[in-house]
Structure 1
Amino acid sequence: MGIVLNQSLKNTIITYIGFAIGGINTIYLYPVFLGATYYALTNYILSSANVIMPLFAIGMQNTLVKFYSQCETNEEKSRFLSFTVLFPLLLIVPLCLIGFVFFDEILYFLSKKNIIVKNYIWLIPFIGICMAYFEIFYAWLRVHMHSVFGNFIKEVALRLASLFLLVGVYYNWITVEGFVYATAVVYLLALLITMFYAFSIQKPEFQFTIPANTKDILVYTFYIILSGSVANLLLDGDKMILNQYMNIENIAYYSVATYIALVISVPSRAMHQIVYPITARLMHENNHDEMDILYKKTSINLQVVGGFVMLGIFVNIKMLYQLVPPEYAGGIAVVFMIGLSKYFDLILGNNNAIIFNTKYYRAVLFLGVLLVVLTVGLNMIFIPIYGIMGSAFATLLSITLYSLAKLMFVVKRLHLYPFTKQTLYSLYLTAVLFLGFYFWDFSMSPIIAIILKSILVTIAYVYLNYKFVISIEINQVIDGLLKKLKIVR
């Protein structure tokens, strides 16, 4: 776990810095500087772009990670890298042409409830293409074990750029309309910077040839498109559906709540960047024992770290919502529902990486497609009745069912199991601390109250996890820090 722990730790720190910046943007700057309408509009455009991104990438970001390790010569590697960059154009070009031909129909469908989106529809495919190629070049860096730079661009730089743009809106350097267009430019710059950095790591020698194992690659790619579409629809599809049924401001209220809940998934996102290629190698080598060890380690480590984040959010949520405008307060229940779904997915460790590197991934991906249909259906039922809480419930139910299905598949088919008795201990400890801290608050400024309660929760959580050795690896990290601080020898 040396390189995993090293880069995962760096990625976790970077990602949390990014989420902290994003938290400032989401909880204060967007609602106050941009307003609910244009905040919702920006979020809708980005969410829609993220949903269609897998089609533009054609799954090449995952395909690159899976098959690059199988290239034995430099010529094969160069040919394969060229293929992953050029092949998506075969779908991007016709999709853009179709969008151009049916532009009026698409425009009417997406703007019939909220006319404000009408002038910005073209930004969705533009940003989607930028996101797609960013992910491809990010994967280029990951296979060369340079995950930190791409993670910095994705998690910190993009959010920092948004912060500067929001300050620009506040000082009237740009208009709220200009902010939306400037956001698209930021995603283009992120793509270009990552691309040139990837080229500096591995100089490209583009060639119009196809790899020898093209058939295997194309079959895998088809299913990865389904996988990416499933994941992104479960993440952002609810915001697209909200636009069809409710006033666009509700997307802003929903987005604040989901962003807060998504912080729980940060450890998984950080570790996944480096664990994925290692999982691909172990599965390729058919090293079952090492894979089982890695599965259990990622599960308990993510549960401990993710449980700490979830606990911190849940016990402070009432104080946190005092910092946003009153109309956003209805999102507290959304935070709990989305947060629990993310926590359950978190404790499955590198489950996704295992599935996508086996010959059995097809069945689970088709199951994911069925669950997307279920998600869309549930949203269409519950949103008109319960509003944003109905959407959150639909997401909770769908993601939980999808995660259970993937877990059972890995257990039954691959005989890998992520849980140990430490899993139960961690669940019990987290539940007890939640009950102990949720129902009381300090009668003072919300920020000070959050800081004080967070300190107490941190001390209690870290001490109890260390005392009962919930995670050996995390205890070793703590021991190392204590030795460096010369607290223990």
Structure 2
Amino acid sequence: MGIVIKQSIKNTIITFIGFGIGAVNTLFMYPYFLGEDYFGLSGYVLSAANILYPIMSFGIQNTLIKFFNENNKTEHELNSYITYMLLIPLVFIIPLTGLFYFNYDTIAAYESQKNPIIYSFVWVIPLIAIFMGYFEIFYAWLRAHMQSVFGSFVKEVFVRLLISVLLFGVYFKYITPLEFIYSLVFVYGMSLLLIVFYANKIKRIVLRFKVPKQSKAIWTYTIFIILSASIANMLLDIDKYMIKHYMDIDNIAFYSVAIFIAMVISVPSRAMHQITYPITAKLMSEQKWEELNELYKKTSITLQVIGGLILVGILVNINQLYLLLPKEYSQGLFVVFTIGLSKYFDLILGNNNAIIFNSKYYKAVLSLGIVLVLLIVLLNMYFIPHFGLNGAAFATLIAITLYSLAKLLFVVLRMKLFPFTYKTIVALGVVLISFFAFYYWDFSFHPMLNIICKSILVSIFYLGLCHVLKISSDINFVMRSIFNKVFKKQ
């Protein structure tokens, strides 16, 4: 777990910095600099791009890692392999782009039925999706070489910094809100160029046009994994995409703020996943099942402890946090609780997704995912018109919980791997105790000072309990290392 701990800590720090910048953007700059309509529009554009990019990348980022260890015996084989990975998405991108170009008016008219402001910006979506897709492919190349930190920096920090610069540009009237939306293409284009440069620096990419070994297996896996990846992204973003069909576009702004707050819970998982995914693929290719099961348990409890602290920190401070925002944004309060719970459940499954995607059973999970996508679409079609933003959140909670539970049962029953121990129950108890101990009272300070004070107290109480109860050996190791360094400096 040494490399996992080291790079996961770095990725977590980078991701938290990125989310910190994102928090300033989402909670302050977007609402006050851009306004509700253009905030909602940017949320729609990025959500649609997130849904589309797994199709644009053809799921190659996952394929690249799965077959990497089987196609890197020589330098020539490795060059052929990466060339093949870069060319496959073009088989889909080229005809899809042509179809989109010649049918733009029809597509844009459909997308802008409820909100006409969308019409002129639909063309931005596929461009951003292509940049996102190829970014993930080069990021996978770095992860396959156990170099995930720089990619995390570009994805989590660099992109948000550029967006901050553009938002300041709107505030100081250097650019208009319309130009800001168009500039999102520039932001994701720059991130792609940067990751290409660094990936080539880590391991020089030489294009060699030769079909690699196992090309049939690669295509079979890719076709299934693109659908699985698309399903996962749809579960995350379909609600924001569908809101604009039933409600005014400014509601996407309110919903996006609530989703952003809740998504902070998934930061540790996103950070750890960058390094555990290739390790999981390697262990499975070498059939080291005992080591894999140990990794499964460790990632589960470690993420549960860290994610539990973030969940409690958000929920006990949520009322004060919404006092810092314009009043109309408070309608997303229930959304934070609902999505937060779904992300916490998904978090405690550890590297469950990596195990499924790298197993021989990945095809079987696909049919389940398709059913759940249909379910969430139907749920949103019913709940959004009847319950608004709360309905969208509830539909997402149901779909993500069912999908996560199904994947867990599949790994447990089919592969005889189990992520939970008695410490899982103990960690859940610590979350509940911490929540009820801190939720029902506040200091009589300014909301920001209140949040800071309560966060410090919650962290000390929560981590103290976790340390005493020895819930996670990895967390305790990190805490002891920090204490020892601080003590030695003194």
Please tell me whether residue 31 in structure 1 is matched to residue 15 in structure 2.
Answer: no
Corresponding position of 1:440: 441
Deviations 1:110-144 (A, max 9, x none): 00100001111100001000000000011111111
How far is the alpha carbon of 1:194 from its aligned partner?
Answer: 0.6
Structure 1 residue 487: Cα displacement: 6.8
The match for 1:83 is: 84
> When the two structures are superposed, what TM-score results if normalisation uses the length of structure 2?
0.99
Contact 1:302 1:347 (8 Å CA) reproduced: yes
Matches of 1:74 and 1:377 in 2, distance apart? 49
Cα distance in structure 2, aligned partners of 1:194 and 1:476: 33
Q: Which residue of 2 aligns with 1:327?
A: 328
Distance 1:229 1:178, change over 3 A: same
Q: Which moved more, 1:162-171 or 1:246-255?
A: 162-171
The amino acid that maps onto 1:125 is P
How far 1:208 sits from its partner (Å)?
A: 2.4
CA distance in 2, matches of 1:344, 1:273: 19
In structure 1, what is the equivalent of residue 213 of structure 2? 212
Q: State the distance in 2 between where 1:216 and 1:230 align.
A: 21
Residue equivalent to 1:115: 116
1:361-380 aligned at under 5 Å gives the runs 361-380=362-381
Give 1:471's aligned residue.
472
Distance in 2 of aligned mates of 1:172 and 1:455: 38
For 1:124, the equivalent position in structure 2 comes to 125
Q: CA deviation at 1:486?
A: 2.4
CA offsets 1:247-302 (integer angstroms, 9 cap, x no match): 00000000000000000000000000000000000011111100010000000000
Query: 2:95 corresponds to which residue?
Result: 94
Structural mapping, 1:22-421, within 5 Å = 22-71=22-71, 72-421=73-422
| Alpha-carbon distance between aligned partners in 2 of 1:212 and 1:428, rounded to the nearest angstrom | 50
TM-score, structure 1 as length reference:
0.99
Between the aligned partners of 2:163 and 2:289, the Cα distance in structure 1 is: 44
Aligned-residue identity in percent:
54
Q: Secondary structure at the match of 2:35?
A: helix
CA RMSD of aligned residues (A): 1.1
CA contact (8 A) 2:76 2:208 kept: no
Name 2:485's counterpart in structure 1.
484
- Secondary structure of 1:478's match? helix
Q: Deviations over 1:443-489 (max 9, x none)?
A: 12000000111111011011110011010111111111222222799
Q: Secondary structure of the equivalent of 1:174?
A: coil
Specify the code of the residue in structure 1 equivalent to 2:60.
Answer: M
- Determine the C-alpha separation between the residues in 2 that align with 1:365 and 1:315: 37
Letter aligned with residue 310 of structure 2: V
1:6 aligns with 2:6: yes
1:488–1:406 Cα change, 3 Å: farther
Q: Which consecutive aligned stretches of 4+ in structure 1 deviate over 4 angstroms post-superposition? A: none
Structure 2 SS opposite 1:486: helix
Q: Return the alpha-carbon distance in structure 2 between the equivalents of residues 284 and 109 of structure 1.
A: 46
Q: Which runs of 5+ in 1 are unaligned?
A: none
Q: Is the 8 A contact 1:28 1:324 kept in 2?
A: yes
Q: Distance in 1 between matches of 2:186 and 2:488?
A: 49
Residue by residue over 1:371-403, the C-alpha shift from the partner in whole angstroms, topping out at 9 and shown as x without a partner, is: 011000000000000001000000000000000
8 Å contact 1:482–1:488 — kept in the other structure?
A: no
Aligned-partner Cα distance in 2 for 1:305–1:365? 30
Number of aligned pairs? 489
Q: Is the 8 A contact 1:40 1:251 kept in 2?
A: yes
Which amino acid is 1:4 matched to? V
Alignment partners' CA distance in 2, 1:94 and 1:207: 24
Q: Give the unaligned 5+ runs of structure 2.
A: none
Q: Distance in 2 between matches of 1:113 and 1:481?
A: 53
Write the deviation string for residues 310-363 of structure 1: whole angstroms up to 9, x where unpaired: 000000000000111000001010000000000000000000000001000111
Relative to structure 2, which stretch is displaced further, 202-211 or 182-191? 202-211
Instruction: Measure the CA separation in 2 of the matches of 1:92 and 1:5.
Output: 37
d(CA) in 1 for partners of 2:147, 2:472: 27
